[in-house]
Amino acid sequence: MTADLFEAVLDVRPPREAMADGAVLLRGFAKPVEADLIAALRAIVAQAPFRHMFTPGGHQMSVAMTNCGGAGWVTDRNGYRYDGADPESGKPWPAMPPVFCELASQAAAQVGFDGFAPDACLINRYAPGARMSLHQDKDEQDFSAPIVSVSLGLPAIFLFGGIKRSDKPRRYRLAHGDVAVWGGPSRLFFHGVAPLAFGEHAAMGHQRINLTFRKAR
């Protein structure tokens, strides 16, 4: 069923918005499989609940996180890194659902990154007021693979800058079902999320969920 849905998506080219060389927003790309995504997400969270991690400097992040896939991104006083096991349970992270893998691969292919096979999905939960400061995704071993970011729930303002932290970021409103892909020349661009405004989404409630797919190893 999932493959059939993606074939339907690809029959009609999704609305595209270029952010930079190698960086594109695919508006509404995930909507045809939103029910499958949400069901898979709930199963993941039942195994590996959301938690507020701490940065190496001891700051508790406003965004709650969990992971699925062969590698999970974690942060604590020992630094930022990928780990095959959930540090809270000691068990492997939940397997990445097929609908997650297929969505990430097809979105990447839309932007020219064929053959993307993520082994990590960092799942962020934003409550109203939560934010993500400007940062680079640079804990991966190979920067040739893109980042694929899926938005579910409340809309958010995505900040997409440049290769330097001082580069002024542009602002993009991400709605439920939108997918951002960046790689190649923009793979290490700084990006973040402005404080989430209060609201309620029919399927997700008072929150935004962000699925960030990466090739970690």
Q: Are 157 and 171 in contact (CB under 8 A)?
A: yes
Estimate the crossing angle of helix 98-110 against helix 34-47, to 10 degrees. 130
Among positive and negative, which fits the CA dihedral 85, 86, 90, 95?
Answer: negative
Tell me the C-alpha to C-alpha distance, in Å, between residue 134 and each of 71, 97, 119, 138, 193. 23, 29, 24, 13, 8
Q: Which residue shows structure tokens 């962020």?
A: 124
Ordered per-residue pLDDT tens for the chain, 217 residues: 455 545 544 445 579 999 999 999 999 999 999 999 999 999 999 999 999 999 999 999 999 999 999 999 999 999 999 999 999 999 999 999 999 999 999 999 999 999 999 999 999 999 999 999 999 999 999 899 999 999 999 999 999 999 999 999 999 999 999 999 999 999 999 999 999 999 999 999 999 999 999 999 9
Q: Residue 205's domain spans which residues? A: 2-214
Tell me the C-alpha to C-alpha distance, in Å, between residue 84 and each of 15, 67, 209. 36, 10, 22
Separation between Cα atoms, residue 15 and residue 26, nearest integer Å: 6
CATH of the domain at 119: 2.60.120.590
pLDDT at 103 (0 to 100) = 98
Q: What are phi and psi of 98, to 5 degrees?
A: -55, -35
Maximal C-alpha separation, the chain: 48
Question: Which residue in 105, 108, 103 sits closest to 23, CA to CA?
Answer: 108
pLDDT at 2 (0 to 100) = 52
Percent with pLDDT over 90 in the chain:
93
Residues 6+ apart with CB under 8 A from 86: 48, 67, 72, 92, 93
In the chain, the number of structural domains is 1
pTM score = 0.93
pLDDT at 7 (0 to 100) = 52
Q: Which residue shows structure tokens 């661009």?
A: 189
3-state secondary structure of 152: strand
